[in-house]
A and B are shown apart, each in its own frame.
Chain A
Amino acid sequence: MRYLPLNDDDRAAMLARIGVSSIDDLFVDIPPDARLEKAIEGLPGHATEMQVERDLTALAARSLNAGDAPFFCGGGAYRHHVPASVDHLIQRSEFLTAYTPYQPEIAQGTLQTLFEFQSQVAALTGMDIANASLYDGSTATAEAVRMAMRITRRNGCVLAPGLHPHYSDTVRTAVHAGGGIVEALTPAMGADTKVVEVLDENTACIVVQNPNVFGELVDLDPLAEAAHAAGALLVAVTTEVVSLGLIKSPGQMGADIVAAEGQSIGNGLNFGGPFVGLLACRNDRKFIRQAPGRFAGETVDADGKRGFVLTLSTREQHIRREKATSNICTNSGLCTLAFTIHMALLGETGLRQLAKANHARACQLADQLAAIRGVEVVNDSFFNEFAVRLPMNATKVVEKLSKKKILGGIPAARLFGPGGFDDVLIVAATETNTDEDIDAFAKTLREALQ
């Protein structure tokens, strides 16, 4: 077996040195009737590299790749161009095959990139500080809500009507188990300001997504003001961080905690994972003490040289156990690296240009779809994603389009379940879309609706 360096001579010599006669003498603590005497049945034997590659490549060939079709899906996962150097760099052995940086003297590469990542996320979201990542945007949102509950010592939260329903479900599941109360407002477009109507003295936070799941842009300022007046916090959610190159950041609009999906920068679609959850907040002792996950912080070594360490770990499970702010341990290390490298390649000017390109493509798409008889673009405003109302069931339309090798957005019913939004399609455009893509989509949609 190519990954196992020991040969039978080694094994015999090692058993002799240990002082046992067979390998099974090392497994004596397994209850006798639970021992397996030979390899598990029903599974194949070992395979060559060629064979494994052949088998998995055959499976990979059974799907319609996003890059092989005019592609317009968003809904919390976006297809952007990732520069080739990003994937090259994250495959450096020293990054790829390192563990969590528990020994800082020999992990400065990981620690400095985490520190830079935190700095970028703070700037991007307009917040003071950010942590070293969570699993994804949805779990980050759940963590942000739990954090807000600890900070305010209140146990209610209100979820806006434009919050991604999978995020709502993730929050509900997580918060409910800990005894919190979740009020999720009925999903609707143009209705996010309604969160302030249900604020009460038990509300720890309101959770508002911008751009929301329908792609609408939401002015968070008055919502933050109302939340603060009621002693609650504003948790702002972003599933498309490229938008922050063009639209006001949550920090500029009074958010207290930001939970975001960072996949768009540096990371591919990967059928939904791994992604990278971002969490940023105000620089306030109370907030920092209640934050989940890891922080990299600056310090000096014994010679006074600048260096970085994992810090503030007295919040974490390995120290605080059942009193920890979260059970999270492994997070999204290598995805944060991809994020920070891509963001460094973009820089301020590149991010702004990327955001403009996304918005321009989405405007172009909206204009072409709106020109189709029976199709209505519902949004007044959007960044790179918007909702259209179709004259027929959107799920059926998307299926039809996929038969023509066009991945034409996400039926709202896929997110919300059937009923309510059956004729609504949510479409996204990014810098990866060409004029030809958009023409093909519009033409095929027109045909599908006839």
Chain B
Amino acid sequence: MSMNKTGRPTTPHGDYAPQSGGETFSGSRGLAQQEPLLSEVGALDKCGVDFAPLPDVTPRLGGMERTGEIGLPGLSEPEALRHYVRLSQRNFAIDLGLYPLGSCTMKHNPRLNEKLARLPGFADLHPLQPQSTVQGALAVMDALSHWLKAITGMDAVALSPKAGAHGEWCGMMCIRAAIEARGELETRKRVLVPESAHGTNPATAAECGFTIDQLPADASGRVDMDILRQKLGPDVAAIMLTNPNTCGLFERDIRAIADLVHEAGGYFYCDGANLNAIMGKTRVRDLGVDAMHINLHKTFSTPHGGGGPGAGPVVLSNRLKDFAPLPYLCADDERWSLVEHDADTKEEARPFGRMSAFHGQMGMFVRALAYMMSHGADGLRQASEDAVLNANYLLARLKDELSPAFDGVCMHEALFTDAFLKDTGVTTLDFAKAMIDEGYHPMTMYFPLVVHGAMLIEPTETESKESLDRFADTLIALAKAAKAGDRARFTNAPMLAPLRRLDETRAARSPVLGWEKA
């Protein structure tokens, strides 16, 4: 054993067991800190905020004073910092490692965008200040609109939708309004939705009062054209198609699909969740699309934040743009204004209504615009190319050990089935949980629904080749271990995460949705 001059050992000494494990007294394990609930560490009389003395006034509460305890535990500032920093360390995140959630586009979130979104000239503006005092914010909305229209080739953009599903609803409401204007609302009720679609698509169409007719995929993972032809008719309002689709494939018959739907008198709604694959490579206008939402939190890298906030602007064709919701932006020679009321609309405009209280997700607009300006037209095209290249590289590296769902190349995400796990006793879920022990966030599991035991891998363009190689090496090693009969590695996983597998049935059967009241 080595020691320094004061007798402090400077190498591990011989008494250490090979791997230190077992339970600790505190419940924490080294850097993995245990953290109780806020209701257990906080107290009703603790506070982390100081207040100035109040002016002396006569209250005007009209006898509505709240009496009794509210039940809100508080913390001093140092206690709060510790509570939340400890909790943060129980999360996986993009900044910690590859996060290959297919269809979610977990790409790097530039910090410049965070800084700019916090400029008081954007963050400290009230939505109903006089419009003459918010020209900078309106200019950002106009610039963002310009970029989105240029990238998609579309004629107009509605900025107010607050997330992807809200954007879907906006687009489908425009379609509904257009059908109503044609006097066909009672007859055009059916919306065609591929079975590979995100669940939001059928849910959205139903919220707009449409009925849903499911379109099966063909053997290549794309829309079955024969069945599409059979299903089209005078009662079809629209098709909702994701492109590239959720199998990671470009719908190569997309122009024919658009033509068929249009000939039948319907509209083409495109789910833009996977726009990241095609920026600068094609424009959705040229594919025959009438409306498409854009998830700024996917393609344009506004942070996912543990489940939002997002933003879902919708680009519209000439056929639909008059139906865009209130409020909308008007530009007149470097002066911008918002149209907020039906009474103020121009003659041709027939907004379908209002989607929310204010004008959209300004904080996300700034971030997305900064992302676009940083990339430029050349960088956006390069980003899509690299996203597709990275996915195909993983597909090439993994195809012999895992089971690709379809032959040929993919777009920005690669879909596998669980065929390679046949007879191993390991499921897609087990395989995913074993990835956690290897330091990776699992891929999207069991989606899309069109293949068995789906594993959908989207690396995004912000992974290096070295990172992809390490990831592929790990997945190959895991696949080999499963096939070699090392079942326990999977069925017991995760073993190295802050918690083992959680009992979801128990959570749903007797729901506990808040802490016990003190």
Contact A18 B392 (CB under 8 A): yes
Cα(A142)–Cα(B426), bound, Å: 44
**Chain B positions within 8 Å of A23 at CB level:** 385, 388-389
Mask, A73-105, CB within 8 Å of B = 1, is: 101110100010101011111111111111111
Bound state CA distance, A344 and B206, in angstroms? 39
Q: A247-B66, A346-B47 are in contact. Are A334 and B206 (CB under 8 A)?
A: no
Instruction: List CB contacts (< 8 Å) of B376-398 with chain A.
Output: 376-383, 385-386, 388-390, 392-393, 395-397
Known: A115-B515, A271-B125. A110 touches B307 (CB 8 A): yes
B116 touches A52 (CB 8 A): yes
Give chain A residues whose Cβ lies under 8 Å from the Cβ of B393.
Answer: 14, 17-18
CB atoms of B389 and A414 under 8 A apart: no
Assembled-state Cα–Cα distance A354/B176 (Å): 46
1/0 contact trace for B183-222 toward A, CB 8 Å? 0000000000000001110111111110010000000000
| B373 and A47 contact, CB distance less than 8 A | yes
List of A residues within 8 angstroms of B297 by Cβ: 330
Shortest CB distance A216–B (Å): 8
- Whether B356 contacts A139 by the Cβ 8 Å rule is yes
Residue ID in chain A nearest B444 by CB atoms: A102
Which parts of A286-314 form the interface with B (CB within 8 Å)?
288, 294-303, 305, 307-309, 311-314
The segment from A26-34, A194-202, A227-235 that touches chain B is A26-34
Determine whether the beta carbon of A105 is less than 8 Å from that of B382: no
Roughly how many angstroms separate A417 CA and B282 CA in the complex, as a whole number?
42
Which of B9-17, B248-256, B416-424 contacts the other chain?
B248-256
Asked, given contacts A34-B282, A271-B362, A300-B506, whether A60 binds B382 with beta carbons under 8 Å apart, the answer is no
A402 at the interface (CB under 8 A from B): yes
Please encode chain A, from 20 to 56, with 1 for each CB lying within 8 Å of some chain B CB and 0 for all others. 1001011111110111101111111111010111011
Contact string, A156-199, partner B, CB cutoff 8 A, digits 1/0? 00000000101101101110111100000000000000000000
Expressed in whole angstroms, the Cα–Cα distance for A14 and B409 within the complex equals 13
Does residue A436 face the partner (Cβ distance < 8 Å to B)? no
Within 8 A of A (CB), among B223-272: 249-252, 254-255
A272 within 8 A of B: yes
Q: How far is the CA of A300 from the CA of B70 in the complex (A)?
A: 28
Say yes or no for A70: interface residue by CB 8 A criterion.
Answer: no
Which residue on B lies nearest to A361, using beta carbons? B55
The reply to whether A247 and B65 form a contact with Cβ atoms under 8 Å apart is: yes
Contact B45–A348 (Cβ < 8 Å): yes
> Once the chains bind, are B306 and A110 in contact (CB under 8 Å)?
yes
Q: Is the CB of B119 within 8 A of A57?
A: yes
Is B88 in contact with chain A by the CB < 8 A criterion?
yes
Total count of chain A residues near the partner, CB < 8 A: 216
A450 close to chain B: CB less than 8 A: no
Question: Would you give the shortest CB distance from B363 to chain A, in whole angstroms?
Answer: 5
Q: B163 within 8 Å of A by Cβ?
A: yes
Which residues on A sit within 8 Å (CB–CB) of B447? Answer: 318
A424 within 8 A of B: no
**Given contacts A247-B65, A273-B359, A322-B206, are A91 and B168 in contact (CB under 8 A)?**
no
Q: Which of the residues B80, B127, B381 comes within 8 Å of A39, measured between beta carbons?
A: B381
Nearest residue (CB) in A for B176 is A177
| CB proximity of B7 to chain A, nearest CB, Å | 39
How far, in angstroms, from A327 to B316 measured CA to CA in the complex? 21
Asked if A271 and B137 make an inter-chain contact with CB atoms under 8 angstroms apart, the answer reads yes
- State whether B396 touches A18 (Cβ < 8 A): yes
A130 to chain B, nearest CB (A): 7
Is there contact, CB below 8 Å, between A309 and B125? Answer: no
When distances are taken between beta carbons in the complex, the residues of chain A under 8 Å from B139 are: 59, 62
The CA-CA distance from A328 to B26 in the complex, in Å, is 40
Q: Is A122 an interface residue (CB 8 A)?
A: yes
Of the listed residues A53, A309, A349, A364, the one surrounded by the most CB atoms of chain B closer than 10 A to its CB is A349
With A122-B514, A244-B66, A297-B508 known as contacts, the answer to whether A31 contacts B54 (CB < 8 A) is: no
Most chain A beta-carbon contacts within 10 A, residue among B108, B494, B511: B511
Q: Is the CB of A435 within 8 A of B309?
A: no
Q: With CB as the reference atom, state the residue of chain A lying closest to B517.
A: A123
Residues of B within 8 A of A318 (CB): 198-200, 447
- Whether A346 contacts B48 by the Cβ 8 Å rule is yes
- Given the known A-B contacts A27-B388, A65-B124, A217-B64, are A124 and B163 also in contact in the complex, defined by CB atoms under 8 Å? no
A351, B72: Cβ atoms closer than 8 Å: yes
Which of B204, B304, B382, B507 contacts A327 (CB under 8 A)? B204
**Is the beta-carbon distance between B55 and A60 smaller than 8 angstroms?**
no
A428 to B99, CA, bound (A): 44
CA separation between A79 and B499, bound complex, in Å? Answer: 40
Q: CA A344 – CA B116 in complex, angstroms?
A: 27
Interface string of A320-337 (1 = CB under 8 A from B): 111110111111111101
Answer yes or no: B451 CB below 8 A from chain A CBs.
no
| A399 sits at the interface (CB 8 A) | yes
Contact between B101 and A99, CB atoms less than 8 A apart = yes
Choose from A31, A76, A105 the contact partner of B494 (Cβ within 8 Å): A105
Q: How far is the CB of A120 from chain B (nearest CB, A)?
A: 6
A40 touches B150 (CB 8 A): yes
Q: Given A4-B383, A73-B129, A312–B62 Cβ distance below 8 Å?
A: no
Assign chain B's interface to a size class.
Answer: 35 or more
Bound-state CA distance A10–B467 (Å) is: 12
Q: Tell me if B77 and A345 are in contact (CB < 8 A).
A: yes
A26 to chain B: which residues have CB within 8 Å? 385, 388-389, 392, 409, 411
Assuming the contacts A67-B124, A103-B432, A249-B66, asked whether A344 and B73 have C-beta atoms less than 8 A apart, the reply is: yes
- Contact of A252 with B465 at beta-carbon distance under 8 Å, contacts A30-B281, A65-B124, A341-B80 already known: no
Asked whether A444 is an interface residue with its Cβ less than 8 Å from the other chain, the reply is: no
Cβ of A316 within 8 Å of any chain B Cβ, yes or no, is yes
A56 close to B389 (CB less than 8 A):
no
CA A174 to CA B162, docked complex, whole Å: 14
Residue in A closest to B39 when the chains form the complex, CB atoms: A119
Q: Which residues of B contact A38 (CB under 8 A)?
A: 381
- B203: shortest Cβ distance to chain A, in Å? 4
**CB-defined contacts of A381 to chain B, threshold 8 Å:** 60-62, 64
Instruction: Give chain A nearest CB distance to B207 CB in angstroms.
Output: 6
A214 interface residue, CB < 8 Å from B?
Answer: no
| Cβ B252 vs Cβ A29 within 8 A | yes
Q: Can you name the residue of chain A whose Cβ is closest to the Cβ of B177?
A: A177
Q: Which residues from B are CB-within-8-Å of A334?
A: 303, 305-306, 308-309
Chain A residues near B386 (CB-CB < 8 A): 4, 6, 11
Are A268 and B92 in contact (CB-based, < 8 A)?
A: no
How far is it, in angstroms, between the C-alpha of A56 and the C-alpha of B144 when the chains are bound? 12
Contact B123 A139 (CB under 8 A): no
Chain B hits for A63, CB < 8 A: 121-122, 125, 133-137
Q: Is B343 at the interface (CB under 8 A from chain A)?
A: yes
When distances are taken between beta carbons in the complex, the residues of chain A under 8 Å from B307 are 99-101, 110, 132, 294, 330-333
Cβ of B497 within 8 Å of any chain A Cβ, yes or no, is yes
Q: Given A6-B386, A170-B355, A323-B206, are A79 and B101 also a contact pair (CB < 8 Å)?
A: no
B-chain residues with CB within 8 Å of residue A92 when the two chains form the complex: 84-85, 88
**B171 at interface by CB-CB < 8 Å:** no
Chain A residues with CB under 8 A of B484: none
Q: How many Å from the CB of A335 to the closest CB on chain B?
A: 6
Enumerate chain A residues within 8 angstroms of B73, measured Cβ to Cβ: 344, 347-348
Query: Whole-angstrom distance from the CB of B193 to the nearest CB of chain A?
Result: 8
CB atoms of A97 and B514 under 8 A apart: no
Q: Which partner residue on chain B sits nearest A137 by CB separation?
A: B357
B-chain residues with CB within 8 Å of residue A327 when the two chains form the complex: 165, 168-169, 200, 203-204, 206-207
User: Does A223 make an interface contact (CB < 8 A)?
Assistant: no
Given A3-B108, A129-B514, 11 more A-B residue pairs with CB atoms under 8 Å apart are A4-B383, A41-B377, A83-B48, A109-B89, A179-B209, A248-B67, A297-B513, A318-B200, A347-B47, A352-B70, A360-B54
15 A-B residue contacts at CB 8 Å? A14-B390, A15-B389, A43-B150, A45-B377, A59-B121, A66-B125, A105-B498, A105-B499, A177-B207, A303-B499, A328-B166, A357-B51, A357-B52, A363-B55, A366-B60
When A and B form their complex, which 7 residue pairs have the shortest distance between CB atoms, in order from nearest? A347-B74, A60-B121, A272-B358, A173-B353, A381-B62, A334-B305, A272-B127
